[in-house]
Amino acid sequence: MVSRADAVRYFGRLRSVSSVARACAILGLVAEASPPSRVAAIARRLGIPRNTTYELVNTLCDEHCLEVAADGTVRLGFRLFELGSAYAQSLDLIREARTAARELVARCNETCHVARLDGRNVVYLVKEEGNQFVRMSSAVGHRLPAHGTAVGKVLLANLPREELAGMLAGATLEKMTPNTITDPEELYRELDRTRDRGFATDREESTPQVRCVGAAVWDASGCVVAAISVSVLASNMGSLREGELAALVVEAADRLSRRLGYGSRGDRTG
Protein backbone atom coordinates (compact mmCIF):
# COMPACT_ATOMS: atom_id res chain seq x y z
CA MET A 1 0.00 0.00 0.00
CA VAL A 2 1.29 3.48 -0.90
CA SER A 3 1.52 5.70 2.18
CA ARG A 4 1.26 9.49 2.23
CA ALA A 5 5.06 9.63 2.62
CA ASP A 6 5.44 7.38 -0.43
CA ALA A 7 3.10 9.62 -2.43
CA VAL A 8 5.17 12.68 -1.52
CA ARG A 9 8.33 10.86 -2.60
CA TYR A 10 6.79 9.75 -5.91
CA PHE A 11 4.86 12.88 -6.90
CA GLY A 12 6.36 15.69 -4.83
CA ARG A 13 4.43 17.99 -2.53
CA LEU A 14 1.46 18.69 -4.75
CA ARG A 15 -1.60 20.60 -3.58
CA SER A 16 -4.43 18.39 -2.33
CA VAL A 17 -7.83 18.77 -4.01
CA SER A 18 -10.35 19.69 -1.32
CA SER A 19 -13.39 18.33 -3.20
CA VAL A 20 -11.76 14.90 -3.49
CA ALA A 21 -10.83 14.96 0.20
CA ARG A 22 -14.43 15.87 1.10
CA ALA A 23 -15.81 13.12 -1.13
CA CYS A 24 -13.55 10.59 0.59
CA ALA A 25 -14.66 11.88 3.98
CA ILE A 26 -18.30 11.40 2.96
CA LEU A 27 -17.61 7.83 1.84
CA GLY A 28 -15.84 7.09 5.11
CA LEU A 29 -18.68 8.52 7.18
CA VAL A 30 -21.36 6.65 5.22
CA ALA A 31 -19.40 3.40 5.61
CA GLU A 32 -19.29 3.81 9.39
CA ALA A 33 -22.78 5.27 9.97
CA SER A 34 -25.24 2.98 11.71
CA PRO A 35 -28.07 3.60 11.13
CA PRO A 36 -27.52 5.32 7.76
CA SER A 37 -27.45 9.12 7.75
CA ARG A 38 -29.21 11.69 5.61
CA VAL A 39 -27.34 14.34 3.63
CA ALA A 40 -28.05 17.11 6.14
CA ALA A 41 -26.59 15.02 8.98
CA ILE A 42 -23.52 14.23 6.90
CA ALA A 43 -22.99 17.94 6.25
CA ARG A 44 -23.22 18.73 9.98
CA ARG A 45 -20.90 15.89 11.02
CA LEU A 46 -18.20 16.86 8.52
CA GLY A 47 -18.64 20.63 8.69
CA ILE A 48 -19.25 20.91 4.95
CA PRO A 49 -21.78 23.43 3.57
CA ARG A 50 -25.09 21.68 2.90
CA ASN A 51 -25.24 22.67 -0.78
CA THR A 52 -21.70 21.40 -1.32
CA THR A 53 -22.57 18.14 0.42
CA TYR A 54 -25.63 17.64 -1.81
CA GLU A 55 -23.48 18.26 -4.89
CA LEU A 56 -20.82 15.79 -3.75
CA VAL A 57 -23.35 13.12 -2.80
CA ASN A 58 -25.13 13.59 -6.13
CA THR A 59 -21.83 13.18 -8.01
CA LEU A 60 -20.94 10.08 -6.02
CA CYS A 61 -24.40 8.67 -6.79
CA ASP A 62 -23.85 9.34 -10.50
CA GLU A 63 -20.64 7.29 -10.23
CA HIS A 64 -22.51 4.54 -8.32
CA CYS A 65 -20.29 5.03 -5.28
CA LEU A 66 -23.30 6.06 -3.18
CA GLU A 67 -27.04 5.41 -3.27
CA VAL A 68 -29.87 7.43 -1.73
CA ALA A 69 -32.69 5.24 -0.42
CA ALA A 70 -36.38 6.12 -0.65
CA ASP A 71 -36.31 7.42 2.95
CA GLY A 72 -33.48 9.84 2.09
CA THR A 73 -30.70 7.94 3.84
CA VAL A 74 -27.35 7.57 2.10
CA ARG A 75 -25.74 4.16 1.59
CA LEU A 76 -22.64 2.84 -0.13
CA GLY A 77 -23.02 2.06 -3.84
CA PHE A 78 -22.22 -1.11 -5.71
CA ARG A 79 -19.21 0.47 -7.43
CA LEU A 80 -17.34 0.38 -4.12
CA PHE A 81 -17.98 -3.34 -3.87
CA GLU A 82 -16.51 -3.78 -7.36
CA LEU A 83 -13.44 -1.70 -6.49
CA GLY A 84 -12.94 -3.49 -3.18
CA SER A 85 -13.26 -6.87 -4.86
CA ALA A 86 -10.74 -5.88 -7.53
CA TYR A 87 -8.30 -4.72 -4.86
CA ALA A 88 -8.70 -7.91 -2.83
CA GLN A 89 -8.33 -9.99 -5.97
CA SER A 90 -5.09 -8.24 -6.94
CA LEU A 91 -3.64 -9.08 -3.53
CA ASP A 92 -4.78 -12.69 -3.89
CA LEU A 93 -3.26 -12.93 -7.36
CA ILE A 94 0.19 -11.76 -6.32
CA ARG A 95 0.24 -13.84 -3.15
CA GLU A 96 -0.94 -16.99 -4.91
CA ALA A 97 1.29 -16.31 -7.92
CA ARG A 98 4.38 -16.26 -5.71
CA THR A 99 3.41 -19.67 -4.32
CA ALA A 100 2.74 -21.06 -7.80
CA ALA A 101 6.03 -19.70 -9.12
CA ARG A 102 8.03 -21.23 -6.26
CA GLU A 103 6.32 -24.59 -6.83
CA LEU A 104 7.06 -24.48 -10.55
CA VAL A 105 10.72 -23.59 -9.97
CA ALA A 106 10.99 -26.51 -7.55
CA ARG A 107 9.80 -28.85 -10.29
CA CYS A 108 11.86 -27.58 -13.23
CA ASN A 109 14.73 -25.57 -11.67
CA GLU A 110 14.25 -22.83 -14.27
CA THR A 111 13.35 -19.13 -13.97
CA CYS A 112 9.61 -18.52 -13.61
CA HIS A 113 7.60 -15.34 -14.28
CA VAL A 114 4.02 -14.30 -13.66
CA ALA A 115 2.80 -11.28 -15.62
CA ARG A 116 -0.37 -9.51 -16.63
CA LEU A 117 -1.38 -7.50 -19.67
CA ASP A 118 -1.41 -3.70 -19.70
CA GLY A 119 -2.34 -2.47 -23.16
CA ARG A 120 0.16 -3.90 -25.63
CA ASN A 121 2.71 -4.57 -22.88
CA VAL A 122 3.10 -7.14 -20.15
CA VAL A 123 3.99 -6.12 -16.61
CA TYR A 124 5.90 -8.65 -14.52
CA LEU A 125 4.31 -9.31 -11.12
CA VAL A 126 6.48 -12.16 -9.85
CA LYS A 127 9.92 -13.54 -10.72
CA GLU A 128 11.44 -16.66 -9.15
CA GLU A 129 14.83 -17.89 -10.27
CA GLY A 130 16.05 -21.48 -10.41
CA ASN A 131 19.64 -22.65 -10.25
CA GLN A 132 19.95 -22.45 -14.04
CA PHE A 133 21.08 -18.84 -14.50
CA VAL A 134 19.30 -17.01 -17.32
CA ARG A 135 20.22 -13.40 -18.05
CA MET A 136 17.02 -11.50 -18.90
CA SER A 137 15.81 -7.91 -18.79
CA SER A 138 12.71 -8.96 -16.83
CA ALA A 139 12.17 -7.77 -13.27
CA VAL A 140 9.13 -7.25 -11.08
CA GLY A 141 7.38 -4.13 -12.33
CA HIS A 142 9.27 -4.21 -15.65
CA ARG A 143 7.37 -3.92 -18.94
CA LEU A 144 8.01 -5.64 -22.25
CA PRO A 145 6.03 -5.62 -25.51
CA ALA A 146 3.54 -8.46 -25.23
CA HIS A 147 3.97 -9.74 -28.80
CA GLY A 148 7.56 -10.84 -28.13
CA THR A 149 7.04 -12.82 -24.93
CA ALA A 150 5.39 -16.13 -24.09
CA VAL A 151 3.35 -14.59 -21.28
CA GLY A 152 2.30 -11.75 -23.57
CA LYS A 153 1.33 -13.95 -26.49
CA VAL A 154 -0.86 -16.22 -24.38
CA LEU A 155 -2.58 -13.17 -22.88
CA LEU A 156 -3.15 -11.63 -26.31
CA ALA A 157 -4.42 -14.96 -27.63
CA ASN A 158 -7.16 -15.03 -25.00
CA LEU A 159 -8.48 -11.54 -25.72
CA PRO A 160 -11.78 -11.25 -27.62
CA ARG A 161 -10.96 -11.04 -31.31
CA GLU A 162 -12.49 -7.56 -31.66
CA GLU A 163 -10.47 -6.23 -28.72
CA LEU A 164 -7.28 -7.76 -30.10
CA ALA A 165 -7.93 -6.26 -33.54
CA GLY A 166 -8.50 -2.82 -32.02
CA MET A 167 -5.33 -3.10 -29.97
CA LEU A 168 -3.16 -4.07 -32.92
CA ALA A 169 -4.76 -1.78 -35.51
CA GLY A 170 -2.09 0.58 -36.78
CA ALA A 171 0.40 -0.59 -34.14
CA THR A 172 4.09 -0.90 -34.90
CA LEU A 173 5.35 -4.19 -33.46
CA GLU A 174 8.76 -3.51 -31.94
CA LYS A 175 11.60 -5.77 -33.06
CA MET A 176 13.43 -6.80 -29.89
CA THR A 177 15.56 -9.52 -31.48
CA PRO A 178 15.97 -10.91 -35.01
CA ASN A 179 13.31 -13.53 -34.11
CA THR A 180 10.61 -11.12 -32.93
CA ILE A 181 7.36 -11.33 -34.90
CA THR A 182 6.69 -7.89 -36.33
CA ASP A 183 4.18 -8.71 -39.07
CA PRO A 184 0.59 -8.44 -37.73
CA GLU A 185 -0.74 -11.27 -39.91
CA GLU A 186 2.04 -13.59 -38.76
CA LEU A 187 1.28 -12.61 -35.17
CA TYR A 188 -2.41 -13.43 -35.65
CA ARG A 189 -1.43 -16.89 -36.93
CA GLU A 190 0.88 -17.38 -33.95
CA LEU A 191 -1.88 -16.36 -31.54
CA ASP A 192 -4.28 -18.81 -33.20
CA ARG A 193 -1.76 -21.61 -32.69
CA THR A 194 -1.29 -20.49 -29.09
CA ARG A 195 -5.03 -20.58 -28.44
CA ASP A 196 -5.42 -24.01 -30.03
CA ARG A 197 -2.64 -25.73 -28.09
CA GLY A 198 -3.16 -23.91 -24.77
CA PHE A 199 0.31 -22.45 -24.32
CA ALA A 200 2.63 -19.92 -25.96
CA THR A 201 6.30 -20.03 -26.87
CA ASP A 202 8.99 -17.36 -27.07
CA ARG A 203 11.84 -18.62 -29.23
CA GLU A 204 14.49 -15.99 -28.61
CA GLU A 205 11.94 -13.31 -29.52
CA SER A 206 12.44 -11.03 -26.51
CA THR A 207 15.94 -11.98 -25.33
CA PRO A 208 18.72 -13.57 -27.41
CA GLN A 209 19.61 -17.14 -26.37
CA VAL A 210 16.51 -17.45 -24.14
CA ARG A 211 13.37 -19.44 -24.87
CA CYS A 212 10.14 -19.44 -22.85
CA VAL A 213 6.87 -21.33 -22.52
CA GLY A 214 3.78 -19.66 -21.00
CA ALA A 215 0.16 -20.48 -20.14
CA ALA A 216 -2.87 -18.41 -19.14
CA VAL A 217 -4.24 -18.00 -15.61
CA TRP A 218 -8.01 -17.62 -15.10
CA ASP A 219 -9.96 -16.15 -12.18
CA ALA A 220 -13.31 -17.04 -10.58
CA SER A 221 -15.23 -14.94 -13.11
CA GLY A 222 -13.80 -16.89 -16.04
CA CYS A 223 -11.46 -14.11 -17.19
CA VAL A 224 -7.78 -14.47 -18.03
CA VAL A 225 -6.00 -12.30 -15.45
CA ALA A 226 -2.35 -13.29 -15.82
CA ALA A 227 0.08 -15.73 -17.39
CA ILE A 228 2.85 -17.89 -15.96
CA SER A 229 6.00 -18.96 -17.80
CA VAL A 230 9.39 -20.59 -17.51
CA SER A 231 12.52 -19.27 -19.24
CA VAL A 232 15.35 -21.52 -20.39
CA LEU A 233 18.66 -21.06 -22.18
CA ALA A 234 18.04 -21.79 -25.85
CA SER A 235 20.90 -24.28 -25.85
CA ASN A 236 18.99 -26.36 -23.26
CA MET A 237 15.58 -26.14 -24.98
CA GLY A 238 15.12 -28.97 -27.45
CA SER A 239 11.69 -30.06 -28.63
CA LEU A 240 11.48 -32.73 -25.92
CA ARG A 241 12.38 -30.25 -23.16
CA GLU A 242 9.91 -27.73 -24.55
CA GLY A 243 7.13 -30.33 -24.40
CA GLU A 244 8.04 -31.25 -20.82
CA LEU A 245 8.09 -27.62 -19.70
CA ALA A 246 4.85 -26.83 -21.53
CA ALA A 247 3.11 -29.59 -19.58
CA LEU A 248 4.51 -28.28 -16.29
CA VAL A 249 3.55 -24.67 -17.09
CA VAL A 250 -0.01 -25.59 -18.11
CA GLU A 251 -0.36 -27.62 -14.91
CA ALA A 252 0.99 -24.70 -12.83
CA ALA A 253 -1.42 -22.30 -14.56
CA ASP A 254 -4.33 -24.62 -13.79
CA ARG A 255 -3.34 -24.88 -10.12
CA LEU A 256 -3.03 -21.11 -9.82
CA SER A 257 -6.38 -20.66 -11.60
CA ARG A 258 -8.07 -23.01 -9.14
CA ARG A 259 -6.56 -21.08 -6.24
CA LEU A 260 -8.15 -17.95 -7.69
CA GLY A 261 -11.54 -19.69 -7.79
CA TYR A 262 -11.62 -21.06 -11.33
CA GLY A 263 -12.42 -24.68 -12.30
CA SER A 264 -10.25 -27.13 -14.16
CA ARG A 265 -9.24 -26.61 -17.79
CA GLY A 266 -11.94 -29.07 -18.84
CA ASP A 267 -14.63 -26.79 -17.39
CA ARG A 268 -13.75 -23.96 -19.75
CA THR A 269 -16.26 -23.15 -22.42
CA GLY A 270 -14.69 -20.01 -23.92
Per-residue pLDDT for 235 more than 80?
Answer: yes
Per-residue pLDDT for 88 more than 80?
Answer: no
**pLDDT band, very low/low/confident/very high, at 269 (cuts 50, 70, 90):** very low
Q: Please give the average per-residue pLDDT across 7-24, as a whole number.
A: 73
Residue 270: per-residue pLDDT: 42
Per-residue pLDDT for 17 more than 90?
Answer: no
Which domains are present in the chain? 4-76 (1.10.10.10), 88-267 (3.30.450.40)
Per-residue pLDDT for 224 more than 50?
Answer: yes
* Average model confidence (pLDDT) across the chain: 87
Residue 49: per-residue pLDDT: 95
**pLDDT band, very low/low/confident/very high, at 239 (cuts 50, 70, 90):** confident
| Structure confidence by residue, pLDDT tens digits, 90-143 | 668 899 999 999 999 999 999 999 999 999 999 999 999 877 666 666 678 888
Residue 134: per-residue pLDDT: 61
Three-state SS for the chain is CCCHHHHHHHHCCCCCCHHHHHHHHHHHHHHHCCCCCEHHHHHHHHCCCHHHHHHHHHHHHHCCCEEECCCCEEEECHHHHHHHHHHHHHHHHHHHHHHHHHHHHHHHCCEEEEEEEECCEEEEEEEECCCCCCCCCCCCCCEEEHHHCHHHHHHHHCCCHHHHHHHHCCCCCCCCCCCCCCCHHHHHHHHHHHHHHCCEEEECCCCCCEEEEEEEEECCCCCEEEEEEEEEEHHHCCHHHHHHHHHHHHHHHHHHHHHCCCCCHHHCCC
